[in-house]
Structure 1
Amino acid sequence: MKNYIDKKKIFFASVIIIALKSIFFLTKHIQEDALISWRVARNIIEYGVYGYNGAEKISASTTHLYVFIGVLFQSIFGEGNFIYPLLVFNTILLTIGIYWLGKLLLKSTNRIILFLLFVSFLPPAIKMSILGMEFGMLFFFYMALIKYGFVERKNWAFILLPIFILWTRIDTCIFLGILFIYDVIQQRKWNTALMIGGILAVLTTVAFNWFYFGEIVNNTITSKKNNYANPTLLERWTEFKFFGPNYFGMIKFPTSIYNFSTAILFILSLISLIVLAGKWDSNRKKVIGFLFAFGIIKTLIFGAANSWFDWYYWIPQICLFLPIILIVLDIDFYKKTALAYGIFILIPFTAYQAIHSIATGHGEWNHARKIGLYLDSIEPNKDNYIFLEPAGYIPYFSKLKVIDYVGLVDKRLTEENIVKNGTEVGFSNLINKAKPKYILEDFKPMFKGKLADQSIYDDYELIKEFKIADVAKSDNPILDKIYKFKPSGRDFYLYKRKETAK
């Protein structure tokens, strides 16, 4: 007899979980890259052009589909009111994806609800809800493909969903490739529908990039490749050892501590996976086996490439931690183990992320955003350029045109080949050609006085300093301790081009 699942009970539990997670919206913790995508969406609305600076076409966002979702939400709710509806939308999609996965792996209503709760409050899952990026939607598509394609063998899912997945992020080709290979091994035959879906996904994304932007891959990928130095194998290994534990695990601690804790969690998860594989049916076994394999391979690929942006690892982190949650919920006396999990893992993890989000959100919203608002107040001509890094909060709220130090939103930096010529020469050439009205820098003097063309220093003057120490404090004693415990942000110095400059 098939186990009865009370969908109404799960629905109301999901609403409560989403409401609880929404409390994190109050931290104002939003990732810089989300604001890049939202500005591109705004550019489409205002100029009818997929770009960043007015009528110039450029694929400045890593995610085409999420940009179009941003256009929809900004059109419906308006430029100033769309953020929270979009965050709720992301959270709902993530929760549906977690529910689909829970229903595939667990056989009772209460277990599925606990699974929803435990996965939803893992630190990466919280960030997937509140940071404004596309990963809640991506997790939804991943789980849809696993449910309707990998498990239920629906050809429409194998053909259609890879298109949505690759349009969400180009690096999802890793997920699709691993799924194809894993499925071939499981089924012992080629998956023609998934092959067709993968080919259509590649053709449509490449065709859009080529016919609209005149490029095969997104400019964000090209600019990082051209403007980041290529480390040696020894340098890669050194960075891998230093940064890896802070990204392959569930939360960030000092590296010396985290090497040990990451290893312990991984071993526990691997043991849990082996135990589950020994007692589960084939469908559940192949789902959790695939997710664990994907988690390992994705983290190794990006770790070997020294790609240390948090969001690359959010979904793999969840996949690698899943067996621990599942072993807690699979045993007969799961209520006792679930209580222990809640006390020793759920509450500490949630508290950690709360502290992290309060501190980071405060630093970004009340520091970087206010710099952008200050620029908006002093510069009415929004056709003027500012040269800065990063291209997130400050450009979004200043509304000025932007050249960033990596070339994500303007291609002129890539033309200067700073890897070959060095930043001193490349930045000097760019500033002399573009003549940005403002330069926002981390240092005084500007660029530590190291620009190749020293005459640039005569062309610009320091007009304002923005000190993080002025922001990282509060009259509330608890908030003040959090801000000092985990300071977020850095000092900025704003330089303006003199009217007498050539």
Structure 2
Amino acid sequence: MSKSLPRIFSNPFLLVLLTVLIKIPVFFTNHIQEDSFITWRVAKNLLNYGVVGFNGEERLSASTTHLYVLVSTFFQLNFGDYFIYPLLIFNCILFGIGSFWLGKVLFRKDVINRGLFVILLNIVPPALTASCLGMEYGILFFLYSGLIYFGIRKGKNWAYLIFPVLLLWTRIDTVIFLGVFFIADVIIRKKLNLVFILGGIIGVVSVVSFNVIYFGEFVNHTISAKKIAYKNLTRNNSLEFLLYQWAYYGGLIKKYSLFTFLIFMGFLAALAYAVKQIIKDKTQTQFSIKVILLAMLAFALLKITVFAFMRAYFDWYYWLPRVFLFIIVLYYVLLYVPVRRKFLVPAVFICCLGLYGFQILQSWAIGYMEETQRMQIARDIQTESHGIDQSILLEPAGKIPFYTDLYTYDEVGLVNKKITAQIQKDENHWWMNSVKEFRPDYIVTIIYKPGDEKSYYKMTASDDIYFDSHYQFVKSYPIAEIHRNAPAILRWIYSIRPIGQDYHLYHLRK
């Protein structure tokens, strides 16, 4: 074993292959992030109608990522209906390559530590979610790592030009990463990098120009829609709650509580100690690596803090910041913990394996819920009809619209500007106004049925009469029943952290 490890770790192909193989179990959990299907529906729409949009020939930047739409289109073109797992494997490969590049940055000549770093990084929870759940974060991590390795570390001008453009075409919020690492590059090289600046300018100008020319808007519609739909969606305005949210999204414990906050603060205190030790060291860590690690820390904490305090209630925004925090932890543990390797490596591996198991169970819990509820709704609708000639009003706009191909009105307005317009006209009664104006063939409501006094589907007495006369109740999908029928280990997880909500399906009366 001791002889085979150096051969595997020194072979990039085998090392990346190993990172992909260890992620295969995640695919069997059926956990794929809902918003992935929005991007994939846009890609399908581009193939079927030649239009970047969600509903036929309507142009709309319903996906937050232009580059991933094109990649998804390529995979759908070549693999048809079976594109999902080839695309997920591709994402895992890109994440593995990115981690190998960072390993070469941090452990330039230390093959064993580099290999251990790559393997361990790829089994921690945020790496698994970023790689395997279908979002654009495998590509994003690949691009982040490419800029650090070929640009910041090796000083290649082409990298300073190409990677910023690709990053901004992947997600516009990568300006945070580019800003932090631009400063890091200036500190390392002690001069302004004009090519880096040019790459950023070309990226911003090209993305904004495309949005304006093609969609008639400066930023992706999803950003505008969320700002309008969520402006009153504030769970709690107190500083206490915002700090709990900061810890909730910065760490791994998914519970808004003082306990979560204290655990995260303890983690940050330990991380601060580790960073201090790395900075003080004058033998093992080069100055440039110290700056890169500090830039990773600054980026991670800055993005977590900005997005948490902006009330961005979407866990995927925080996956890669958590990955960068784990990178610093692994670097410190592998180089600075004063424990003999034969004890240290098994201990670290067991710890990371425990986190790996934690994520597998969490993904299984989520995947089981989605497969037996939202996917079942899609299957039930498919038995009657499907296609763009019929419509649906629902939230969220991921799996169900993707598998039914129905023309979609979503409650946030992410995939349909007509809903955004209704929200702007009447914040209180937009939902019922939309039902009356658009008369969708199917309606899916969350938690409550329309007309329930607790429901946020606000209706007057006449609205109630209108809805009952025009829509027929089809079926409820109660989350409690799904929890009760789950395997024993999942029932135990649901008792600790209930996942999901009730859904109700309605059909337009004929």
Summarize the Cα distance change of 1:388–1:381 in structure 2 as closer, same or farther, 3 Å threshold: same
Equivalent pairs counted in the alignment come to: 492
- Give the aligned partner of residue 164 of structure 2: 162
Report 1:94-243 matches (<5 A). 94-106=95-107, 107-229=109-231, 235=237, 237-243=239-245
Once residues 262 and 423 of structure 2 are traced to their aligned partners in structure 1, the CA distance between those partners, rounded to angstroms, is: 41
CA shift for structure 1 position 184: 2.7
Post-superposition CA distance 1:435-479 (Å, at most 9, x none): 112111124531535324444323222121122233334575445
What SS does the corresponding residue of 1:258 show, helix, strand or coil?
A: helix
Report 1:75-474 matches (<5 A). 75-79=77-81, 81-106=82-107, 107-229=109-231, 235=237, 237-253=239-255, 255-279=257-281, 280-331=285-336, 333-343=340-350, 345-380=351-386, 382-418=388-424, 421-423=426-428, 425-446=429-450, 448=452, 450-452=458-460, 453-458=463-468, 459-474=470-485
CA shift for structure 1 position 324: 1.9
CA shift for structure 1 position 231: 7.4
Mapped contact 1:123–1:251 kept (Cα < 8 A): no
- Scaled by the length of structure 2, the TM-score of the pair is 0.91
CA shift for structure 1 position 353: 0.6
What SS does the corresponding residue of 1:439 show, helix, strand or coil?
A: strand
Mapped contact 2:475–2:504 kept (Cα < 8 A): yes
- Give the aligned partner of residue 499 of structure 2: 488
What SS does the corresponding residue of 2:22 show, helix, strand or coil?
A: helix
Single out whichever of 297-306 and 174-183 deviates more from structure 2: 174-183
Whichever residue aligns with residue 216 of structure 1, its letter is: F
Single out whichever of 321-330 and 359-368 deviates more from structure 2: 321-330
CA RMSD in angstroms, aligned pairs only: 2.2
Post-superposition CA distance 1:205-256 (Å, at most 9, x none): 1111111111111010010111112579981634412322111113435623
CA shift for structure 1 position 289: 1.1
Whichever residue aligns with residue 277 of structure 2, its letter is: V
* Structure 2: unaligned runs, 5 residues or longer: 1-5
- Give the aligned partner of residue 3 of structure 2: none
Once residues 390 and 141 of structure 1 are traced to their aligned partners in structure 2, the CA distance between those partners, rounded to angstroms, is: 29
Mapped contact 2:9–2:15 kept (Cα < 8 A): no
Once residues 238 and 431 of structure 1 are traced to their aligned partners in structure 2, the CA distance between those partners, rounded to angstroms, is: 38
CA shift for structure 1 position 102: 1.2
Post-superposition CA distance 1:84-116 (Å, at most 9, x none): 111110001001111111111124111111111
Once residues 124 and 226 of structure 1 are traced to their aligned partners in structure 2, the CA distance between those partners, rounded to angstroms, is: 29
- Give the aligned partner of residue 73 of structure 1: 75
Mapped contact 1:223–1:407 kept (Cα < 8 A): yes
What SS does the corresponding residue of 1:178 show, helix, strand or coil?
A: helix
Structure 1 consecutive aligned stretches of length 4 or more whose deviation exceeds 4 Å: 4-10, 230-234, 473-476, 482-487
Once residues 34 and 224 of structure 2 are traced to their aligned partners in structure 1, the CA distance between those partners, rounded to angstroms, is: 19
Once residues 201 and 54 of structure 1 are traced to their aligned partners in structure 2, the CA distance between those partners, rounded to angstroms, is: 28
Mapped contact 1:268–1:324 kept (Cα < 8 A): no
Q: Percent identity?
A: 37
Once residues 361 and 233 of structure 1 are traced to their aligned partners in structure 2, the CA distance between those partners, rounded to angstroms, is: 26
What SS does the corresponding residue of 2:363 show, helix, strand or coil?
A: helix
CA shift for structure 1 position 488: 3.0
What SS does the corresponding residue of 1:235 show, helix, strand or coil?
A: coil
Post-superposition CA distance 1:103-131 (Å, at most 9, x none): 11124111111111211111110001111
Report 1:37-48 matches (<5 A). 37-48=39-50
Summarize the Cα distance change of 1:367–1:454 in structure 2 as closer, same or farther, 3 Å threshold: closer
CA shift for structure 1 position 484: 4.9
Whichever residue aligns with residue 470 of structure 1, its letter is: E
Summarize the Cα distance change of 1:8–1:378 in structure 2 as closer, same or farther, 3 Å threshold: same
- Scaled by the length of structure 1, the TM-score of the pair is 0.92
What SS does the corresponding residue of 1:146 show, helix, strand or coil?
A: helix
What SS does the corresponding residue of 2:63 show, helix, strand or coil?
A: coil
